[in-house]
């Protein structure tokens, strides 16, 4: 993605430099003629722009000449133009902070005299400075202001460049919704200008956005549109890239025959072009397809071919893909030691890049290899890494979808606002025309029109009052709906966060262990497995149930996001011991992994009045938190007692403890306060906030005491009987 972004930026620079240049000698000859002082200033500025990249000393000399004359004759436009060039060189010579101040001052002065061109150019330069500081948010904000200034004066060439910069920078930041918005604008402009290369580039980049959002059919359609244009332009390099992109998406979709056709076409073109980087990339892509087809020997040949070619330029990304691909093939061929060697080397390089998806793919297969070799602890550790990465990628994917939904909603709101304003302006114009006609009739028929006009005016004012009243009611209703929508969105987001935090982790661990168990049975007891139909049917049913469970989770998340507006809450009389026992059973295996005892001291006659799902969520989060920060060979205690109208629940661990500073905001949501566990476990910052909210929801109270290196105790008070 970063490589693509810098290619796009290079195209901007080419566009900027492609503007018509005036011969430098002719400019100096103009200065020798009898021209006005104002024309001299303009000519000096033109000379500066011609030599700014070839002779900076001459450029600065001519800036000073232009500035002196402009000040002498009070030529404000000339002063601003010269000051712009002065700011440009200030930044060029390594003083961006001073340059920022100069550009901001320029914008103020240019605004006073309405010099939109300098306003647009200054905002663009400010955006470039922020970009070099990696402050992408401010860079985009200033470029949007630049585009608005250029649009206002209809400077098409300039706002195309700025649009492209905004879109490219948004794509670089993975802000796909924003990038798509500006690429669609650029596509429309390119079509109007019949700029085939610009149209093809837009289609290609829109395809990239759809691919990143897993909208594969839309991605392929845009790549194909781009391919058709590049074939007309006879651009071999771009043709091979489009074919490779289409082939790669078909490989992900499982359309292996279609993928192979496109990838081999792409490889043939790249061999003719002698593009070694792309050739190595193509062999990796073909290796993936052969792997998907089960042709492991052919897949290995392609991956080794990629590694051989890659030696000439050492692309870490290509090499990492090859190494992990080789390891996967060796695993399928039961050459586990070879598989381990290549997978470990591939994962090491993936961490250097870094590439989370490649790390996840490598650790997934390394976990299987270690399991086959009998290294069960290593298998478990690698599976944990894979599960965390997969969970992170799912969260990122959902965040992208939410971002696009929010962007589309904001865009629709903006469009409605524009349409409403246009309708209002049309009404004003129509009304003015009607008034002018009335004035004309008044001039011709003074006596008659006086009576008629008074009658019309009376009814017109009455209609205006009625219209204003209706508009006022509509605005009140609109504001009410907007407030309700905000409330609904906050509730849905909250519910989504709770589900994602509380369900996804256990399901991911269950699926991971089931995969390891199923592979182990099939690989080591294959003869017995083929004969035992019950075992075979059971494994198949479990596998199907696993997939259904994943689909159900995804459906539930989407449903919660779209439809729910409250968190379900049905309090009842609950036997506390039963729920604590269930909770201990859930975490028993996790506790054994750290040799931690889970001990419950609960009387069978202790009850609480609360929602059972809330109680289980509270217990799971507190238990998970205690396990995370408990040291090996320690204990976690669950105690309960009754006190007046409340039942007191205690969760006590012997872990690392919590500092006094962190205790102050222990129940707040803040990813920056998340602490690594004693075994490297990472959290999301949601758990204790959920506990706090659910305790409050059930009319309870929660407090926490802790001492560093001694342990932590969470005290919960829940109603013993129904709250009236």
Q: DSSP letters along 364-379, please? A: HHHHHHHHHTT-HHHH
From the options 1.10.3720.10, 3.40.50.1950, 1.25.40.10, 3.40.640.10, give the CATH code of 236-307.
1.25.40.10
What does pLDDT average to over the chain?
A: 81
Taking 60 as the threshold, does the pLDDT of residue 203 lie above it?
yes
More confident residue, 371 or 561: 371
Beta partners for residue 707, in sequence order: 711
Structure confidence at residue 432 as a pLDDT band (50, 70, 90) = low
- Given this model, what pLDDT does residue 412 score? 47
**Spatial distance between the Cα atoms of 209 and 245, rounded to a whole number of angstroms:** 12
The mean per-residue pLDDT over the stretch 506-514 comes to 69
**Spatial distance between the Cα atoms of 551 and 341, rounded to a whole number of angstroms:** 35
The mean per-residue pLDDT over the stretch 618-624 comes to 91
Determine how β-strand 607-611 pairs with β-strand 571-575.
Answer: antiparallel
Dump pLDDT digits (tens) for 27-48: 888 888 899 999 999 999 899 8
The mean per-residue pLDDT over the stretch 237-248 comes to 93
Taking 60 as the threshold, does the pLDDT of residue 55 lie above it?
yes
The mean per-residue pLDDT over the stretch 265-286 comes to 91
- Given this model, what pLDDT does residue 17 score? 40
pTM of the shown model: 0.47
Q: State which fold the 1-173 domain adopts.
A: 1.25.40
- Given this model, what pLDDT does residue 117 score? 92
Taking 70 as the threshold, does the pLDDT of residue 406 lie above it?
no
Contact between 227 and 240 under an 8 Å Cβ cutoff? The reply is: no
Structure confidence at residue 166 as a pLDDT band (50, 70, 90) = confident
With tokens 């009070």, the residue in question is 74
Structure confidence at residue 540 as a pLDDT band (50, 70, 90) = low
Dump pLDDT digits (tens) for 632-688: 999 999 999 998 889 999 999 999 899 888 888 888 766 455 677 777 665 556 678
Dump pLDDT digits (tens) for 75-95: 999 999 999 999 988 887 788
Taking 90 as the threshold, does the pLDDT of residue 478 lie above it?
no
What is the share, in percent, of the chain residues with pLDDT greater than 90? Answer: 38
- Given this model, what pLDDT does residue 316 score? 84
DSSP 625: H
Beta partners for residue 714, in sequence order: 651, 704
H or E segment and range at residue 171: helix 156-172
Contact between 655 and 678 under an 8 Å Cβ cutoff? The reply is: yes
- Given this model, what pLDDT does residue 392 score? 67
**Three state DSSP letters for 207-255:** HHHHHHCCCHHHHHHHHHHHHHHHHHHCCHHHHHHHHHHHHHHHHHHCC
- Given this model, what pLDDT does residue 548 score? 46
Which residues, in sequence order, are CB contacts of 502 under 8 Å at separation 6+? 617, 620, 621, 690
User: 100 is written with which tokens?
Assistant: 């920022």
With tokens 């979709």, the residue in question is 253
Q: State which fold the 571-719 domain adopts.
A: Heat Shock Protein 90 (3.30.565)
Q: What is the largest CA-CA distance in the chain?
A: 111
Contact between 263 and 285 under an 8 Å Cβ cutoff? The reply is: yes
H-helix segments, 274-373 = 276-293, 296-310, 316-332, 336-352, 356-372
**Spatial distance between the Cα atoms of 701 and 719, rounded to a whole number of angstroms:** 10
- Given this model, what pLDDT does residue 701 score? 93
Fold matches, 1-173 and 236-307:
yes
Taking 70 as the threshold, does the pLDDT of residue 429 lie above it?
no
Hey, where are the domains in the chain? Answer: 1-173, 236-307, 571-719
- Given this model, what pLDDT does residue 421 score? 52
């Amino acid at each position: 993605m970063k490589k693509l972004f810098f290619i796009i930026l290079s195209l901007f620079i080419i566009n900027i430099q492609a503007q018509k240049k005036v011969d430098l000698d002719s400019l100096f000859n103009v200065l020798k003629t009898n021209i006005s002082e104002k024309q001299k200033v303009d000519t000096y500025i033109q000379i500066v722009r011609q030599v700014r990249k070839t002779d900076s000393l001459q450029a600065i000399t001519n800036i000073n000449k232009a500035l002196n004359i402009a000040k002498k004759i009070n030529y404000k436009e000339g002063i601003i133009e010269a000051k712009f060039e002065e700011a440009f060189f200030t930044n060029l010579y390594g003083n961006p902070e001073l340059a920022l101040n100069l550009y901001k001052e320029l914008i103020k002065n240019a605004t006073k005299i309405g010099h939109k061109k300098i306003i647009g150019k200054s905002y663009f330069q400010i955006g470039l400075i922020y970009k070099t500081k990696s402050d992408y948010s401010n860079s985009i904000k200033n470029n949007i202001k630049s585009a608005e200034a250029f649009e206002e004066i209809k400077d098409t060439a300039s706002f195309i460049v700025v649009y492209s910069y905004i879109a490219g920078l948004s794509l670089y930041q993975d802000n796909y919704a924003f990038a798509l918005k500006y690429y669609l604008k650029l596509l429309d402009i390119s079509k109007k200008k019949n700029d085939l290369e610009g149209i093809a580039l837009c289609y290609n980049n829109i395809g990239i956005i759809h691919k990143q959002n897993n909208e594969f059919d839309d991605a392929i359609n845009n790549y194909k549109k781009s391919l058709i244009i590049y074939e007309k332009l006879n651009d071999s390099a771009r043709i091979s890239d489009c074919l490779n992109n289409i082939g790669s998406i078909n490989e992900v979709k499982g359309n292996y025959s279609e993928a192979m056709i496109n990838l081999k076409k792409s490889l043939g073109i790249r061999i003719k072009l002698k593009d070694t980087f792309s050739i190595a990339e193509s062999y990796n892509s073909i290796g993936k397809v052969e792997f998907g087809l089960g042709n492991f020997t052919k897949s290995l040949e392609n991956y080794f071919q990629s590694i051989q070619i890659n030696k000439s330029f050492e692309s870490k990304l290509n090499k990492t893909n090859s190494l992990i691909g080789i390891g996967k093939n060796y695993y399928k061929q039961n050459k586990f030691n070879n598989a381990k060697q290549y997978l470990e080397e591939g994962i090491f390089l993936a961490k250097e890049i870094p590439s989370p998806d490649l790390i996840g793919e490598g650790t997934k297969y390394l976990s299987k290899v270690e399991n086959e070799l009998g290294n069960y602890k290593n298998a478990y550790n690698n599976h944990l890494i894979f599960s965390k990465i997969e969970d992170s990628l799912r969260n990122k994917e959902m965040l992208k979808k939410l971002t696009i939904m929010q962007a589309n909603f904001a865009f629709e709101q903006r469009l409605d606002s524009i349409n409403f304003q246009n309708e209002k302006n049309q009404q004003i114009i129509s009304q003015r025309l009607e008034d002018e006609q009335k004035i004309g009739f008044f001039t011709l028929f003074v006596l008659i029109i006086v009576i008629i006009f008074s009658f019309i005016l009376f009814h017109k004012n009455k209609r205006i009052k009625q219209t204003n009243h209706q508009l006022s009611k509509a605005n009140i209703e609109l504001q009410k709906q907007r407030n309700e929508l905000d409330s609904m969105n906050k509730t849905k987001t909250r519910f989504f966060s709770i589900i994602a935090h509380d369900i996804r982790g256990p399901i991911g661990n269950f699926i991971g262990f089931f995969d390891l168990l199923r592979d182990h049975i099939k690989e080591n007891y294959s003869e017995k497995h083929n004969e035992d139909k019950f075992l075979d049917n059971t494994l198949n049913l479990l596998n199907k149930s696993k997939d259904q469970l994943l689909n159900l989770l995804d459906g539930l998340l989407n449903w919660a996001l779209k439809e729910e507006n409250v968190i379900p809450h049905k309090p009842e009389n609950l036997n506390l011991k039963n729920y604590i026992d269930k909770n201990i059973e859930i975490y028993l295996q996790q506790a054994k992994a750290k040799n931690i005892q889970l001990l419950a001291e609960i009387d069978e006659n202790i009850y609480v009045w609360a929602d059972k799902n809330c109680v289980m969520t509270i217990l799971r989060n507190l238990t998970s938190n205690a396990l995370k920060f408990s040291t090996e060979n320690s204990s976690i205690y669950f105690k309960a007692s009754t006190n007046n109208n409340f039942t007191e629940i205690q969760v006590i661990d012997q872990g690392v403890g919590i500092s006094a500073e962190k205790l102050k905001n222990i129940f707040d949501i803040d990813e920056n306060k998340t602490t690594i566990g004693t075994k490297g476990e990472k959290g999301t910052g949601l758990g204790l906030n959920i506990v706090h909210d659910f305790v409050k929801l059930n009319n309870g109270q929660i407090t926490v005491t802790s001492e560093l290196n001694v342990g932590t105790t969470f005290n919960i008070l829940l109603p013993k009987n129904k709250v009236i």
